[in-house]
Amino acid sequence: MAYRGTENPPHCPEEHTVRATHVPATGIVNVEQWPEPEATRDGEFVARVVAASVCGSDLHSALHGTLHPRGPELAGYPGHEGVGVVVSSRSEKFPVGTPVLCVPPGELGGTFAEFILLDEDHAVALPPEVGPEDLTTMRRYMMAQQMGTCLYAMNLYWPREVPERHAGTCVIMGAGSAGLFFLQDALLRGFEQVIVSDTQQHRLDIARRLGARTVLVPDESLPEVVSELTGNAGADLVIEAVGSDALRAEAVEVVAHRGIVGWFGLYENFDPAPVPIYEVFRKCVRLQGSVAAQSEPGLVSFHEAVRRIRDGEVDVDYCLGPVHTLEETGQVLRIAERGGDGNVKFTITP
């Protein structure tokens, strides 16, 4: 629901503009003036963005060559994680003053902006006691956006309605915010052990505190650790949460016979990627991708993520890293690209 215009932000009187990011080409992230969004249809509303968060897929989109064809036309692109407060509305469900979790279509974004246009199918009302002026609480609930995509994916990888499946070992490649959300959900789903790998020790320290057996790669070999801890059987479920072709192939290596590999990390580029097809056939592996959680009817997974945060069932405070201005978005993406400098998540405040 973000603004869709021409190749560059259109010119209009300054009093009718808002600040938002503009990605005219791969590797370039500017902040420009865009037309102020307006709710013109029933069910639409405009929210003032209180905070937005950087997702790993933003790095691929803005920096790594998977720029959406319409990306240069979109205000606030590629940001798609955010929370805000409704300031004008044509929706009975989201009246003015409602604090909301923004759930725009991920490939279009829109949260790296002062204001965002949404509709009833792309937002979740936060608990009424949440005050938009309480930045810390709003930032906690902001984590429900990415957590919701993880819950949606896990329902594809390991649906609860298959009770006879043995939840033995789950391997999660990547201890970024998504990987750590997957870790907590895997434990809630009853996995006996969860193994998390990453190249960053500070992230693995969090994973260990949350209950995982951790593997610091490349110092340790993930296949060797998985083999040792599973008696050479392999993992029942392996989730690639980085977005690496090499790790997707390694996931097939460490998964068990008739196991499941969940591909969550965004593709590196638009080119075909190699798949160890012999191993897939030999092990009878199921490969399961996950996309378009924001189109889930009723946004069930996002509502569940909000509930878990409200009820204290999950820990998200490790995501409350540094706060940056909108003008620092490009710089923050570069920091995240090199591993976060000790931080799991970054907040952008327009």
Task: Render pLDDT for 277-295 as a digit per residue (tens, 0 to 9).
Answer: 999 999 999 999 998 899 9
**Predicted structure pTM score:** 0.92
Same-domain pairing of 212 and 268: yes
Residues 68 and 184 in one domain: no
pLDDT of residue 322: 94
Average pLDDT over residues 172-201: 97
pLDDT at 9 over 90: no
pLDDT at 256: 97
Q: Are residues 83 and 117 in the same domain?
A: yes
DSSP annotation of 200: -
Q: Do 243 and 324 fall into the same domain?
A: no
Q: Is 122 exposed, middle or buried (0-12, 13-18, 19+ CB in 10 A)?
A: buried
Range of the domain at 342: 19-125+320-348
When pLDDT is averaged across residues 263-269 and rounded to a whole number, the result is 88
Residue 305 lies in a domain: no
138 inside domain: no
pLDDT of residue 6: 37
Strand-pair partners of 124: 101
pLDDT at residue 270 is higher than 90: no
In angstroms, the CA 262 to CA 239 distance is 5
Q: What is the pLDDT of residues 52-78, one digit of tens each?
A: 999 988 888 888 888 999 999 999 999
Other CB atoms closer than 10 Å to residue 213's CB: what's the count? 17
**pLDDT average, residue stretch 207-236:** 98
In a shared domain, residues 325 and 273: no
Q: What is the pLDDT of residue 162?
A: 64
Looking at the predicted structure, is the pLDDT value of residue 167 above 90?
A: no
Q: Is the pLDDT of residue 11 over 80?
A: no
Considering only 159-163, 190-194, 253-257, which range has the smallest mean pLDDT? 159-163
Residues 191 and 88 in one domain: no
Say if 309 falls within a structural domain: no
**Integer Cα distance of 257 and 213 in angstroms:** 22
Confidence of residue 107 (pLDDT cuts 50, 70, 90): confident
Strands 44-53 and 81-89: antiparallel
Q: Is the domain of 169 the same as that of 261? A: yes
Specify if 218 maps to a domain.
yes
Number of domains in the chain: 2
Whether 212 maps to a domain, the answer reads yes
User: Does any domain span residue 191?
Assistant: yes
The reply to whether 202 and 285 lie within a common domain is yes
Do 97 and 200 lie in one domain? The reply is no
| Residue from 226, 259, 261, 258 nearest 241 by CA | 261
What's the pLDDT at 1?
42
Distance of alpha carbon 327 from alpha carbon 308, whole angstroms: 32
Please state, rounded to an integer, the average pLDDT across all residues of the chain: 93
Residue with tokens 């201005």: 325
Q: What percent of the chain has pLDDT over 70?
A: 94
> Residue 153 corresponds to which amino acid?
A
- The least confident of 8-22, 226-240, 254-268 is 8-22
Looking up residue 119, the CATH number of its domain turns out to be 3.90.180.10
Q: List all residues 6 or more positions away from 200 whose beta carbon is below 8 Å from its beta carbon.
A: 175, 339, 340
d(CA 145, CA 82): 7
User: Is the predicted pLDDT of residue 3 greater than 50, yes or no?
Assistant: no
The pLDDT of residue 330 is above 80:
yes
178 in a domain, yes or no? yes
pLDDT tens, position by position, 113-124: 999 999 999 999
Q: Is the dihedral of CA 76, 154, 192, 278 positive or negative?
A: negative
pLDDT at position 131? 93
